[in-house]
Chains A and B, each alone.
Chain A
Amino acid sequence: MNPLSVVVRTICDVFAWFMGIYGIYIIIHGHLTPGGGFQGGAVVATMAAFLLVSHGGKKLLSFAKPGFYSGIETAGLLIFITTGFLGLSATFFYNFLAGRGGLFGAVVPIGPNSGILNSAGTISVMNMAVGLEVIGGLSLILIYMFKGIRLFDDQTGGSETGHDR
């Protein structure tokens, strides 16, 4: 893919950050509002798609290394399974953080409230783990799909048509 015009690139540079922040918001509010790890992770991974379309593949691949995303993905998976194992004092995947005070341990009062972010125990941790996993995984899928397009291309990616320059 070739880069798009300077107008598109500038707008994308600005809005990509909003997308990332919005995705992270969905991830960390997963236990309070609709959405969660998977949905938020998908939104953050759209950032990669955004930059891929606006700046073109060559630019994106110059700083987005597959190894980096692999690392994020693995970290998410390991956090997830470790949280599961830590619950083994009671049962596998037991929520050992909820309602104990401390990290994600706030006791939620019964009745309407505005939502307490520091609650839900391991559910929040697992939302974040899944979020990391999906960010890494979906970005990797996008990068590899782009590489797949280039297999049918000449190596420079210069002979594409259909873009505005």
Chain B
Amino acid sequence: MNWQIHLPALVLAVPLLGAFASPVAGLGGRATRNAWMIFISVLTTAVCIMLWQKVIAGGTAVYVMGAEAWNITLPSGLSWPVRIILEVDAFSAFMAVVGSIAALAGAFFSLRFMDRFTGLEKFSALYFLLVTGMLGMQLTGDLFNFFVFLEIASVASFGLIAFWRDRPEAVEASFKYMVISTISAMFILIAVGFFYGRYNAVNIAAVARMLQMGYAEKIALVFLVVSLAMKCGAVPMHMWTPDAYAEAPAGVTCLLVAVSQASLYGLFRVCFSLYGASLGSTVVPWTIIVMGVLSMFIGVTMAVIQKEIKRLMAYHSVSQIGYILMALGVGLLALRDPQAMADYGFTAMKGGIFHIINYTMYKGLLFLTAGAVFYSAGSRNLNELGGLARVMPQTTFMFVIAAAAIAGLPPFNGFVSKLLIYQSTFAVYPLLAVAALVTSVLTLASFVKVFQTAFLGPAKKTYENVTEVPASMLLGMSLLTIVIIALTLFPGWTLSHLVEPAAKALVDQAGYISAVMGGGL
């Protein structure tokens, strides 16, 4: 039997095994625990990449949990989709690859970074639970299981954000995130309840097939859009991001960035695959676009004035999420009009999806470099830092690459995706492109500020004895740097092989439905 049909389940099973066996691995001491963490992370990434290859080669993969065979979506004698399924199209597989690479980099970085903490077998268990939750959100084909995986990811991140227990700020950030997450999770549960009440189904493909726009569906849509935008940190629901991102250990922040992308994935899965053409009016696309513009602008203006390096970067992630929201909102706006889709909609979607991988890579790298600065210099305050380029050359080099990429300097990958977004949004409404450009300039300004104050300047007495971070942390950072450089050098290949299949899969609602439902119910 071909073992590759089990790939969708293995993507979830491997990190879950990693989480559950972490306490056992922890018994073997530090070396065993670290080896286990790396082994599982590498395996997860490998499985995700294999799954992506399989999906690109063979079309949407469907996997039924616990059935006699992987492809029987309906039990014999029943004509109702009741089974727990995973449905992996090119967009899901793309997101899983992006997320697992960020998780791998975070795991490498955490090996030495977390050494000063106790209870590390619990850390690796929570870390892999968070990875499971993230990948589960991206692969599931079932609304209720989306909620379950969202909760798994949320609960794991509460623990991880508060892992620095003796810092009251960390506990506060975790509590804030807990309140926000629980509220948004309840909203999602209510929305799922609406669908279940109306259609007796929670399978995304089945609901999408039967969906008729009515009051219940509109309420459910509002709940889903608001709560998922809250989870990915869009303005005006962004207040948890600076605290959570700044207080979590750096390796975890890198993963949290990828997890916020899973919420973004959920938002677009709901808009494109669940509602799709039946969205009707342009209210929802414009809501998403406006949220995107607000996130971009407010995020970056808040970032410019920050003094703490990780908080500054956290506000930047609000603003970068805005780009993705705006681009995919424009794609959603053009969804019902084939001409508009061909003219600018598809370019916007490509830009948005390209920006997802770019954003996850360079933002993860920026948080890791901030963690490295804190690890070596012991401070995150820009007013105290200075002259670190002399003592931490490798970290400085990687920071410069990430900062140039996020600011959209040509020829870096951020420039390519931002250019696609400028071009396409200009066709909808020129002011959108102007807002995006201004945001990009302000991003550059604030990263010039960080680079100038923390890395350049005369050597400071306080930081005379600072040394470069250990090799495993450099390895985690260089993994993301290599991905950024690869995306920079081969944007054409990336667009045609990674991004376009994902964008096509997202637009193709009928394909998503028929992969599960077949010809008819």
B24 touching A74, Cβ below 8 Å: yes
Asked if A21 CB lies within 8 Å of chain B CBs, one says no
Interface residues on B, range: 10 to 19
Q: Which of B16-53 contact A (CB under 8 A)?
A: 16-17, 20-21, 23-24
Asked if B9 CB lies within 8 Å of chain A CBs, one says yes
A residues neighboring B (CB under 8 Å) = 70, 73-74, 77-78, 80-81, 84-85, 87-88, 90-95
The CA-CA distance from A142 to B13 in the complex, in Å, is: 30
B16 touching A91, Cβ below 8 Å: no
What B residues does A92 contact at CB under 8 A?
6, 9-10, 13, 63, 65-66
B24 touching A90, Cβ below 8 Å: no
Known: A91-B6, A91-B9. A81 touches B20 (CB 8 A): yes
What B residues does A84 contact at CB under 8 A?
13
B20 touching A80, Cβ below 8 Å: yes
Asked if B68 CB lies within 8 Å of chain A CBs, one says yes
Asked if B57 CB lies within 8 Å of chain A CBs, one says no
Nearest A residue to B3 by beta-carbon distance? A88
Main secondary structure on A side of the interface with B: helix
Query: What's the nearest-Cβ distance from chain A to residue B127, in Å?
Result: 15
What A residues does B17 contact at CB under 8 A?
81, 85
The CA-CA distance from A93 to B16 in the complex, in Å, is: 13
The CA-CA distance from A91 to B5 in the complex, in Å, is: 9
The CA-CA distance from A84 to B23 in the complex, in Å, is: 19
The CA-CA distance from A87 to B17 in the complex, in Å, is: 14
Pairs across A and B, CB under 8 Å, 7 listed: A74-B20, A74-B23, A85-B13, A90-B68, A90-B69, A91-B70, A94-B68
The CA-CA distance from A85 to B17 in the complex, in Å, is: 9
The CA-CA distance from A53 to B419 in the complex, in Å, is: 66
Query: What's the nearest-Cβ distance from chain A to residue B210, in Å?
Result: 26
Known: A81-B16, A84-B13, A91-B9. A70 touches B23 (CB 8 A): yes
Nearest B residue to A87 by beta-carbon distance? B66
A78 touching B13, Cβ below 8 Å: no
What A residues does B10 contact at CB under 8 A?
92
In-complex Cβ contact of B65 among A77, A80, A93 (8 A): A93
Top 10 A-B pairs, shortest CB-CB distance: A92-B9, A77-B20, A93-B66, A74-B23, A81-B20, A91-B70, A93-B65, A81-B17, A91-B67, A94-B66
Nearest B residue to A80 by beta-carbon distance? B20
Asked if B64 CB lies within 8 Å of chain A CBs, one says yes
The CA-CA distance from A70 to B119 in the complex, in Å, is: 12
The CA-CA distance from A66 to B64 in the complex, in Å, is: 38
Nearest A residue to B5 by beta-carbon distance? A91
B residues neighboring A (CB under 8 Å) = 6, 9-10, 13, 16-17, 20-21, 23-24, 63-70
A91 touching B21, Cβ below 8 Å: no
The CA-CA distance from A101 to B67 in the complex, in Å, is: 19
Query: What's the nearest-Cβ distance from chain A to residue B148, in Å?
Result: 14
Point out which of A81, A87, A92, A94 has the most chain B C-beta atoms below 10 A from its C-beta: A92
In-complex Cβ contact of B13 among A70, A73, A74, A81 (8 A): A81
The CA-CA distance from A90 to B65 in the complex, in Å, is: 10
Known: A81-B13, A85-B13. A90 touches B20 (CB 8 A): no
A74-B24, A80-B20, A91-B67 are known contacts; what are 10 more A-B pairs with Cβ within 8 Å?
A78-B21, A81-B17, A81-B20, A84-B13, A88-B9, A90-B70, A91-B63, A91-B69, A92-B63, A93-B65
What A residues does B65 contact at CB under 8 A?
91-93
The CA-CA distance from A93 to B86 in the complex, in Å, is: 13
B24 touching A94, Cβ below 8 Å: no
What B residues does A88 contact at CB under 8 A?
6, 9
Query: What's the nearest-Cβ distance from chain B to residue A72, in Å?
Result: 11
Nearest B residue to A76 by beta-carbon distance? B20
The CA-CA distance from A92 to B70 in the complex, in Å, is: 9
A94 touching B67, Cβ below 8 Å: yes
What A residues does B6 contact at CB under 8 A?
88, 91-92
B23 touching A91, Cβ below 8 Å: no
Nearest A residue to B68 by beta-carbon distance? A90
Query: What's the nearest-Cβ distance from chain B to residue A96, in Å?
Result: 10
What A residues does B21 contact at CB under 8 A?
78, 81
The CA-CA distance from A94 to B17 in the complex, in Å, is: 17
Point out which of A77, A87, A95 has the most chain B C-beta atoms below 10 A from its C-beta: A77
Nearest B residue to A92 by beta-carbon distance? B9
What A residues does B63 contact at CB under 8 A?
91-92
A91 touching B20, Cβ below 8 Å: no
In-complex Cβ contact of B64 among A73, A81, A91, A95 (8 A): A91
Nearest A residue to B18 by beta-carbon distance? A81
What B residues does A78 contact at CB under 8 A?
20-21, 24
Query: What's the nearest-Cβ distance from chain B to residue A85, in Å?
Result: 7
The CA-CA distance from A81 to B24 in the complex, in Å, is: 14
What A residues does B16 contact at CB under 8 A?
81
The CA-CA distance from A85 to B13 in the complex, in Å, is: 8
Point out which of B65, B66, B68 has the most chain A C-beta atoms below 10 A from its C-beta: B66
Nearest A residue to B65 by beta-carbon distance? A93
What B residues does A81 contact at CB under 8 A?
13, 16-17, 20-21
Query: What's the nearest-Cβ distance from chain A to residue B349, in Å?
Result: 32
The CA-CA distance from A79 to B38 in the complex, in Å, is: 23
Query: What's the nearest-Cβ distance from chain B to residue A38, in Å?
Result: 14
What B residues does A80 contact at CB under 8 A?
20
What A residues does B69 contact at CB under 8 A?
90-91
The CA-CA distance from A74 to B27 in the complex, in Å, is: 12
What B residues does A94 contact at CB under 8 A?
66-68
Query: What's the nearest-Cβ distance from chain B to residue A156, in Å?
Result: 24
